[in-house]
């Protein structure tokens, strides 16, 4: 390889190719998308961690000038298919989630109704006028408690709150601990976190009824997965849906999943035949954007006096929140032994459903 002339890159300052539009203010982020005839979406979210949705009264909201429609979860479920269940779930359980909660809210911030208006101010004002009658239910927000037999069930058609179980065993762990000169036991808590990207989540959908096509702009890291999910929810072939990702103002992995609000925007636009836009507020983002980590790790290790690691026993409980059943905790299990040579190893990872904000990825974990 030549290192002379213009082909020489190492040791030279290079001008970044994508920065001009960012520093001159010409870059287009999601909220910069403008479409004629746009309807703005605001969401009514549950203030309770676990509750039956008995009734949604939208009469006062619909009387507000500029409000076009209020859609409930029951209405939405009549013309949209539920989001796909993750394949890692235990065989006898399934997650049946719609973009709006149908009969019960499962975490604080769970969307229960959609308000559409000609401008965002009217939409948010109307959302505050929607009255939801709830029947509060016992909630569980701690994975260790949710693992107990007497814990409230997040999904009542499940026998317990365990979503998935992953286990690996290598070598003879009991022998390693019998032969050890020393052992150590730890209970480690990896706290729940929120990505706090500068640009909150958002999506715009524009239908073209004549062509039978739908264009969606979204602040996402997974446009292809989003297209597939929208197609499944609406019963459309994927080639009729186009997903465009504008500039993304931060993601860190937390925009790497398919959000129900994005599918909702597409579904409402397709049903109403009008373009729809949703951009979350920061307070919404704290409630509705996936959280990450939230693991309890029980670790036992067996050593020789010279420091040789003989055996490692790791049990991980991951608080998955109310939906998604994200398998990010499996990466903790896969990396549990680190770079060390361990003769005997046992790792058990259990994903536990709770009445918390759903879990997802942050920095790949």
211 lies in the same domain as 229: yes
167 lies in the same domain as 296: yes
149 lies in the same domain as 264: no
DSSP-derived 3-state class of residue 135? strand
- Is position 365 within any domain? no
- Is position 5 within any domain? no
Q: CATH number of the domain that 93 lies in?
A: 3.90.1170.50
284 lies in the same domain as 295: no
151 lies in the same domain as 219: no
- Among 295, 297, 293, 294, smallest CA distance to 185 is for 297
What per-residue confidence (pLDDT) applies to 293? 93
337 lies in the same domain as 268: no
**Full domain range(s) for residue 45:** 36-137+196-288
316 lies in the same domain as 268: no
- Which of 260, 288, 316 is the endpoint of a domain? 288
Those residues of the chain that have pLDDT short of 70 are 1-7
- Among 356, 333, 363, smallest CA distance to 346 is for 333
Find out whether 289 and 201 touch, Cβ atoms under 8 Å.
yes
Tally of structural domains, the chain: 2
- Is position 104 within any domain? yes
- Is position 249 within any domain? yes
**Structure pTM?**
0.92
- Which of 288, 315, 345 is the endpoint of a domain? 288
152 lies in the same domain as 131: no
179 lies in the same domain as 40: no
What per-residue confidence (pLDDT) applies to 87? 86
pLDDT digits (tens, 9 = 90+) for 53-109: 999 999 999 999 999 999 999 999 999 999 988 888 999 899 999 999 999 999 999
272 lies in the same domain as 133: yes
Backbone phi and psi for residue 302, each to the nearest 5 degrees, phi listed first = -115, 135
- Among 267, 255, 197, smallest CA distance to 231 is for 267
148 lies in the same domain as 124: no
- Between CA 258 and CA 262 the distance in angstroms is 7
Q: CATH number of the domain that 328 lies in?
A: 3.30.365.10
pLDDT digits (tens, 9 = 90+) for 236-283: 999 999 999 999 999 998 999 899 999 999 999 999 999 999 999 999
- Among 105, 122, 96, 97, smallest CA distance to 42 is for 122
């Amino acid at each position: 390889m030549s290192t002379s002339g213009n082909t020489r890159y190492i040791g030279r300052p290079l001008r970044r190719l994508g920065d001009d539009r960012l520093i001159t203010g010409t870059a287009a982020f999601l909220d910069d998308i403008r479409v004629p005839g746009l309807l703005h979406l605001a969401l009514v979210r549950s203030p309770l961690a676990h509750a039956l949705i008995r009734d949604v009264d939208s009469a006062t909201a619909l009387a507000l000038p500029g409000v076009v429609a209020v859609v409930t979860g029951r209405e939405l479920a009549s013309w949209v298919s539920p989001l796909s269940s993750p394949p890692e779930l235990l065989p006898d359980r399934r997650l049946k989630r719609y973009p709006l909660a149908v009969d019960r809210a499962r975490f604080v911030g769970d969307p229960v109704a959609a308000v559409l208006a000609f401008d965002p101010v009217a939409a948010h004002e109307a959302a505050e006028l929607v009255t939801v009658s709830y029947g509060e239910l016992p909630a569980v927000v701690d994975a260790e408690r949710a693992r107990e037999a007497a814990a409230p069930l997040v999904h009542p058609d499940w026998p317990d709150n365990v979503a998935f179980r992953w286990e690996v065993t290598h070598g003879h762990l009991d022998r390693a601990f019998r032969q050890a000169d020393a052992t150590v036991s730890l209970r480690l808590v990896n706290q729940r976190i929120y990505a706090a990207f500068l640009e909150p989540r958002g999506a715009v959908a524009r239908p073209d009824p004549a062509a039978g096509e739908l264009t969606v702009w979204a602040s996402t890291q997974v446009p292809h997965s989003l297209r597939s999910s929208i197609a499944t929810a609406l019963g459309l072939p994927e080639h009729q849906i186009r997903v465009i990702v504008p500039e993304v103002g931060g993601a860190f992995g937390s925009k790497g999943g398919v959000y129900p609000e994005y599918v909702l925007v597409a579904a409402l636009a397709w049903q109403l035949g009008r373009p729809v836009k949703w951009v979350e507020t920061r307070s919404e983002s704290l409630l509705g954007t996936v959280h990450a980590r939230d693991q309890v790790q029980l670790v036992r290790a067996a050593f020789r006096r010279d420091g040789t690691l003989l055996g490692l026993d790791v049990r991980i409980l991951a608080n998955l929140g109310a939906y998604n059943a994200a398998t990010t905790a499996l990466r903790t299990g896969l990396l549990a032994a680190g770079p060390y040579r361990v003769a005997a190893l046992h790792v058990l990872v259990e994903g536990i459903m709770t009445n918390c904000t759903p879990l997802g990825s942050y920095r790949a974990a």
